[in-house]
Amino acid sequence: MEITVKSGTPEKQRTACIVVGVFDSRKLSAAAGEVDKASEGYISNIVRRGDMDGEKGQSLLLHNVPGILADRVLLIGLGKERDMSDRVFRQLNASAAQILDRSGASEAVSYLTDLNVKNRTSAWKCYAAALDSESALYKFNTHKSNPETSRKPLKKIVFNVPSRRDLLDGEAAVLKARAVVGGMNLTRNLGNLAPNVCTPGYLARQAQQLKRQYKKLKIEVLEEADMKRLGMNALLSVSEGSKQPAKLICMEYNGAPKTEKPVVLVGKGVTFDSGGISIKPSANMDEMKFDMCGAASVFGVIRACADMQLDCNVIGIVPTVENMPSGTATRPGDIVTSMSGTTIEILNTDAEGRLILCDALTYAAKYDPDTVIDIATLTGACI
């Protein structure tokens, strides 16, 4: 979807739809007031009749409003004016985008960015509106033989800013939002893929694809033989029962001088977690494809950093394995030696996340990081 900013009055917009708001006291927002004036009271008459009372989440799509150049006017209920918080503002923009996508309007100009949000600039409102609008329209249809599509999806949305002086900051905010959403959607896509598709090898290939897309990225993939030489026996023990070879993926984004210490992100990448010999209950086991969402988050952050060309150094480390039961799988009671030299007795093979993370965290020390953040779905713990 194309997202831009502009500055102009709502009644003069030649577009498929304009978006304006009504508060729950039936008070029109400033933009809705301009539409009402140009239409000689058309909006206030609708509000007076009770077709729109301004309750949060309410919406009303109007066609052929007199005095307005746009084909449609979408009224959005804003709730109480005093309750207009960051969260409410973002929810309203996400909801408006979804309504527009179903409305048949291929483009729209939104005046929700004109709303007053305490201590927030016009640029912040453009950022939040762009991020939440595009995020709300995310769909995952990769595996569907008959993908769901809107009959005429929203292809372009324009956010209004108060004056031409705000255009540059608004455009920069939209670019930042697009980069963040790009990272979010990469994370979502990787998480939603079927586990027979998103294997450790697949994640390694995705890292190489990012390298081809962004020149500032450096990618290194350690194979099982490399990890064996380094003594990563804790990590390797988890993949013993699977035919899918383990990988250790290192993605380096260098946007600052080499003298600046990097932030290192370590993301758990168990592409399917059956629990191993300590097998999980079969109910809902399909959701264990999401056990690589820590890794997916790291991929998303690295992509967003590269898109925004941030002036910092960020390294993403992804230990990725498949945890399966078989005649070669690690048994409860087995003892392995981690890369740090610590011996570990494995009593529950379903507590595999900490086994792959401990070796990855030890490996992260080679980068002399300023900060290390690990992201993981852990049994009996948290993300």
**Taking a C-beta distance cutoff of 8 angstroms, is the pair 154, 96 a contact?**
no
CA neighbours within 13 Å on the CB side: how many for 118?
Answer: 7
CA distance 108 to 13: 9
Provide the 10 A C-beta neighbour count for residue 344.
16
Catalytic residue among 6, 156, 280, 331: 280
Q: How far is CA 188 from CA 291, 299, 366, in A?
A: 13, 10, 30
| CB proximity list for 71: less than 8 A, separation 6 or greater | 15, 16, 17, 63, 64, 105
Catalytic residue among 56, 102, 261, 354: 354
102 counts as catalytic: no
Determine the Cα–Cα distance for residues 159 and 98; give it in Å rounded to an integer: 15
* Tokens read off for 8: 């102009």
Buried b (16+ CB within 10 A) or exposed e, 279-300: ebeeeeeeebbbbbbbbbbbbb
280 a catalytic residue: yes
Residues known to be catalytic: 280, 354
